Amino acid sequence: MSRDARFNQAMRRQQAAVQARIAQAPEERSLLLLLTGDGKGKTTSGFGMLWRALGYGQNVAVVQFIKGTQASGEELFLRQRHPGIPFFQMGTGFTWDTQNFAADQAAARRTWAQAAQLLQQSDLDFLLLDELTYMLAYRFLEEDAVLTALRERSPRLSVVITGRGGGSALRELCDTVSEVKNLKHAFDAGLKARQGIDY
């Protein structure tokens, strides 16, 4: 077979496989996604999904459960260029900067109350719950209450959760679980974290 024929055959095979998978998956409903793993890029990827949803004209919102003392590029971009998007932050700084369990837990619960309200908002299409998993890991929030609110969310609302871990019950509930892994990282080669790349 010629190179062109082999190429065409391979491409037709790929095309057929993609079409078959789409045809066999007829149920269309909102999705629950978890972006997890030890690699960098989970928050950035979650925000990437948010901007893409906005590209499709969807109604989007963000709740950030951990926030550094400096504004992230995501926050700056949202506040400066897309200030109309509902955006809630826990606003306590990274927990390892505050070192106060009771204050952090109270902040987490106030922030969750915002998220719970958004989960019921019937005209919302896309909600990013950034770093929610840590709120469960630190036991700032009750897992059962969180899972119930996610399960009973507004039917058209897709939700993306980011953060390491998350626990087996959350993974079980999610339709899609995606893991980010660093195979190699510039940090390991002695390069300094760089604005716009690492944070």
Sort strands 32-36 and 87-89 into parallel, antiparallel or unpaired.
unpaired
Q: Which is nearer to its own copies, 125 or 131 (CB)?
A: 125
Q: What is the DSSP string of 122-148?
A: TT--EEEEETHHHHHHTTSS-HHHHHH
143 binding its own copies? (CB under 8 A): no
Distance CA 72, CA 87 (A): 13
**Contacts (CB under 8 A) with its own copies, residues 159-178:** 171, 174-178
194 binding its own copies? (CB under 8 A): yes
In the complex, the smallest distance separating the C-beta of residue 16 from its own copies, rounded to whole angstroms, is 9
Q: Total residues at the site for its own copies (CB under 8 A)?
A: 87
Question: Beta partners for 126?
Answer: 60, 158
Tokens of 62: 């963000």
Residues in contact with 160: Cβ distance below 8 Å, sequence separation at least 6, in sequence order: 33, 34, 35, 46, 49, 50, 126, 127, 128, 129
Which range touches its own copies (CB under 8 A), out of 83-91, 94-102, 106-114, 115-123? 94-102
Q: What is the DSSP string of 72-111?
A: PHHHHHHHHH-TTS-EEE--S--HHHH--HHHHHHHHHHH
182 binding its own copies? (CB under 8 A): yes
Q: Which is nearer to its own copies, 144 or 188 (CB)?
A: 188
Among 20, 100, 106, 142, binds its own copies (CB under 8 A): 100
Q: Which is nearer to its own copies, 45 or 114 (CB)?
A: 45
**Contacts (CB under 8 A) with its own copies, residues 26-65:** 26-31, 33, 35-37, 39-41, 44-49, 51-56, 58
11 binding its own copies? (CB under 8 A): yes
Strand, coil or helix: what is 164?
Answer: coil
195, 73 in Cβ contact below 8 A? yes
96 binding its own copies? (CB under 8 A): yes
14 binding its own copies? (CB under 8 A): yes
In the complex, the smallest distance separating the C-beta of residue 168 from its own copies, rounded to whole angstroms, is 12
86 binding its own copies? (CB under 8 A): no
Element housing 114 (H / E): helix 101-119
Among 90, 125, 130, 153, binds its own copies (CB under 8 A): 125
